[in-house]
Amino acid sequence: MRDNTLKYLLVLPAVVVVFATAIWPLMESLRLSFTIGRLNRPGSLDQYLGWENYTWAFFDEPAFWNAVWVTAVYTLLTVALTTLLAMGLAMLLAPGGRLRSGVQTLLILPFAMSPALIGVSFRFMFNPEFGLFDAFFGLVLPPLAGISWLADPVLAFAVCVMADIWGWVPFLTLVLIGGLASVPRDTIEAAQVDGASSWRVFRDVTLPQLAPVLAVVIILKSIFSLKTFDQIFMLTNGGPGTATQTLSHYIYFNGMKYGQIGYAASVAWLMVIPMIFLTYAYARYVFRKN
Amino acid sequence: MNGKQQKDLWQAVQIGLIMVAIFIIMAPIVWIFLAAFKSHVDVYQLKLFFRPTLSNFETVFQEPFNLGSKLFNSSFVAFVTVALAIPIATMAAYSFSRFRLFGENAMLVTILATQFVPAVVIILPFFVMFRDLGLLDTRVGLILVNLAIVMPFAIWMIKGFIDGIPVETEEAAMVDGSSRLQVIRNIVLPMAAPGLLTAGIFCFIIAWNEFLFALILTNKHALTLPVGLALFKAEEGDLWNLLSAAGIIIMVPMFVMALAIRKYFVQGLTMGAVR
C-alpha cells in the first residue's frame, strides 16, 4: 500500500472515535439547547423554541447567575492559590537530594486519587464530631473546635477550595519542577556571582524562563477548575443551599434531576465558550513545544 | 548572625516547610487508611491507636454493598477502554508523527480540544441516545463514553513517544525492502512498547477514576467503584469505616500504577506542553 493512502487509513479509526464520542455529542447538545427538551415528554427533544432556554438562563434564573458566580470565584481562587503554592513548593523541592526526591514521589499520590474519593475524604476530615480537622483545631485553636464546616455557606466553599488545592498543587508542582529543570544553571550562577539577591535571581532570571510553563499551568488549571464536578458532588453536593453549586453541578441537576435536558444543554454550551478561548491559548503552547 | 549561620537557618526552615508539605499531602490518605482498619465504634473516637480489624474489608464485599461487582465493573470498563484506545491511538499517533497530513494541525487541535470540553456537555446527548437504545446501566455504554476522555490523552502521549524514535532505522529497513506495515510491526512497535504501556496505564487510571459518566449512565448493574462510594450511607449517616475501606480499594491500585509511570505523568497530563 502506498504511504499516501496508508497515512489517512491509520488516522481514520481515531478520527471516527473522536467524532462519535466528542464532536457529535457536542453538536447534538447544541441542537438540544434550542429545544423544549424534557426527558419525561417524548417528542419534546425535537420541539424547537429558539433562544428561549438561553434567555431563560440569562433573565429568569437567579440560580444560573449564582452558579456562574460560584464557578468564577472558585476558578479564580483555586487557580491563583494552586499556582502560587505549587510555585513555592517547586522552588523548595527542585534542588533534589534524597528527602526532596522522596517528596516529589509522594506528589504523585493525590493526583492518582479519584476526585470523588478526595471529596469523600475531605467530608470525613471536616466532620465536626470526629474529623481530623476538628481534632487538629481542637488541639491548636480550641475556639475553632466543633464548627460545622459544611453547614456554613462560606466555610463549605472554603473546604471545597481546600480539597481542590490538595488535589492539584502536587501535580502542578511536578510540572513546575520539570520547568525549573530546563532553566539554564549557568545563567542563575552568573547572576549569583554578580551579587544578585535570591529574590532578584528568581524575579529576573528564573521567572521569565519559566513563563511558558507557568502559562501552561494556569491555563490547564483554569480549564479543570471551570469543569469541577466530582469533588463538589461528593463533598457538599452544591450545598448548603446552592452556596457551592458550580456550573457543572447546576447543569447536572437541571438535566438529570429535573429532566430539563434542553435547558441544561443551553447552559452547558454557555460553558463551552470560555473553554474555546482557553483551548486556543493552550494549543499555542503545545505547538510551540512540538 | 554570620553568613554560615544564616545559611543553616534557611536550610532548617526549608526542611521544616518540607515536613509541613509531607504532613498535608499524607494526612487525608493516612486518615482513610486508619479509618479503614478501625471498628465502627473506634471511628467515632478519633483514636490514633486502636485494635486494627479487617472486618470492614469483608463487610464491603457482602450484601447490600456488594463492592465485588463494582470492582469488576471498574476493572472491566477501564481495561476494555484502554484495550480499544491504545491500538487506535497508536495508529493515528504514528501517522501524525511520521507523515504530513491534510488538515493535520486542525485534527490535532480538535483532538486536544475535545479533552477540554466539560464532561456534562458530552453526557447529555449520550444519556438520551443510550436511553433510546437500551444502553443505560450497561458496561458497553460506559466504555463508549470513556473512550471520549481517554483518546485525546492516548493520541498525544503516544505521538510524543513515537516522535522520540529516530526515523533513520525505519528508513534503512525500507531501503532493504520492508514495507511500511512491516516497519511499523517490526521496528516501531517494539521500540514504542514501553511508551504504549505507559500510555495504557495512564488511561487506565483516568478511566478507573472517572465519575460523572458513571454517575449519570449507571444505577445498578454497571455501577463503578467511585460512584459506588455513595452507597455507604445509612440512616444514621455515612458509614465512614466502610467508605474508607472502599476508598483504599479504589486508590491503592492507582497509587501503584501512578508510581510505576511517574516519570511520564507530567508529560501525559499536559499533552506534551511540558516535558
Asked if the bond preceding A115 is cis, omega within 30° of 0, the reply is: no
Q: pLDDT at residue A189 above 90? A: no
- Chain A hits for B225, CB-CB cut-off 8 Å, are 114
Q: What is the pLDDT of residue A201?
A: 86
Looking at chain B, list the stretches that DSSP marks H as alpha helix, in order from N- to C-terminal side.
3-36, 40-43, 55-59, 67-98, 104-116, 119-133, 139-163, 167-175, 180-183, 189-209, 212-217, 225-228, 240-260, 265-269
Q: pLDDT at residue A290 above 60? A: no
**What CATH superfamily classification does B62-269 receive?**
MetI-like (1.10.3720.10)
Q: What is the pLDDT of residue B207?
A: 95
Residue with grid cell 452558579, as numbered in its chain: A67
pLDDT digits (tens, 9 = 90+) for B160-191: 889 888 888 888 888 888 888 898 998 899 99
The rounded distance, in Å, linking the Cα atoms of B123 and B135 is: 13
Q: pLDDT at residue A194 above 80? A: yes
pTM of the complete model: 0.92
Set of cell numbers at residue A136? 487538629
For residue B233, report the phi and psi dihedrals to the nearest 5 degrees.
-125, 135
**A15 closest CB neighbour out of B28, B107, B240:** B107
The rounded distance, in Å, linking the Cα atoms of B146 and B79 is: 11
Are B125 and A29 within 8 A, CB to CB?
yes
Cβ burial of B217 (10 Å; 0-12, 13-18, 19+) is: buried
Q: pLDDT at residue B225 above 70? A: yes
The rounded distance, in Å, linking the Cα atoms of B259 and B130 is: 36
Residue A216 and residue B18: Cβ atoms within 8 Å?
no
Q: What is the pLDDT of residue A76?
A: 96
pLDDT digits (tens, 9 = 90+) for A216-273: 899 989 999 999 999 999 999 988 989 999 999 999 999 999 999 999 999 999 999 8
pLDDT digits (tens, 9 = 90+) for A20-51: 999 999 999 999 999 998 988 888 888 898 89
Q: Reduced to 3 states, what is the DSSP secondary structure of residue B233?
A: strand
CA angle B121, B220, B238 (to 5 degrees): 90
Work out the minimum CA distance from B251 to partner chain A, whole angstroms.
6
Q: Is the dihedral of CA A249, A254, A256, A258 positive or negative?
A: positive
Distances A166 to A109, A163, A195, A232, A283 between C-alpha atoms, Å: 11, 5, 37, 14, 27
The rounded distance, in Å, linking the Cα atoms of A145 and A214 is: 38
Q: pLDDT at residue A137 above 80? A: no
Distances A283 to A107, A290, B104, B152 between C-alpha atoms, Å: 26, 11, 13, 13
The overall average pLDDT reported for chain A is 89
Q: What is the pLDDT of residue A156?
A: 94
Residue A116 and residue B209: Cβ atoms within 8 Å?
yes
Residue B32 and residue A121: Cβ atoms within 8 Å?
yes
Q: What is the pLDDT of residue A31?
A: 94
DSSP label at residue B232: -
What average pLDDT does range B68-95 have in this prediction?
A: 96
- Chain B hits for A18, CB-CB cut-off 8 Å, are 110-111, 114, 148, 151-152
pLDDT digits (tens, 9 = 90+) for B128-163: 999 999 999 999 999 999 998 999 989 989 998 898
pLDDT-derived band at B199, boundaries 50, 70, 90: very high
The rounded distance, in Å, linking the Cα atoms of A87 and A205 is: 15
For residue B2, report the phi and psi dihedrals to the nearest 5 degrees.
-85, 175
Domain parsing of chain B, residue ranges = 3-56, 62-269
Cβ burial of B114 (10 Å; 0-12, 13-18, 19+) is: buried
What average pLDDT does range B240-252 have in this prediction?
A: 92
Note the Cα A262 to chain centre separation in Å: 25
For residue B237, report the phi and psi dihedrals to the nearest 5 degrees.
125, -165
C-alpha gyration radius of chain A: 23
In DSSP terms, A219 is beta-bridged to: none
| CATH T-level assignment (fold) for domain A62-289 | MetI-like fold (1.10.3720)
Q: What is the pLDDT of residue A289?
A: 59
The rounded distance, in Å, linking the Cα atoms of B274 and B145 is: 27
Q: pLDDT at residue A142 above 80? A: no
pLDDT digits (tens, 9 = 90+) for B38-65: 887 787 776 677 788 888 898 889 888 8
pLDDT-derived band at B235, boundaries 50, 70, 90: low
Residue B28 and residue A289: Cβ atoms within 8 Å?
no
Cβ burial of A129 (10 Å; 0-12, 13-18, 19+) is: exposed
Q: What is the pLDDT of residue B275?
A: 58
Residue A18 and residue B212: Cβ atoms within 8 Å?
no
Measuring CA to CA, which residue among B83, B85, B134 is closest to residue B111? Answer: B85
Using CA coordinates, name the residue in chain B closest to A266: B121
Are A270 and A67 within 8 A, CB to CB?
no
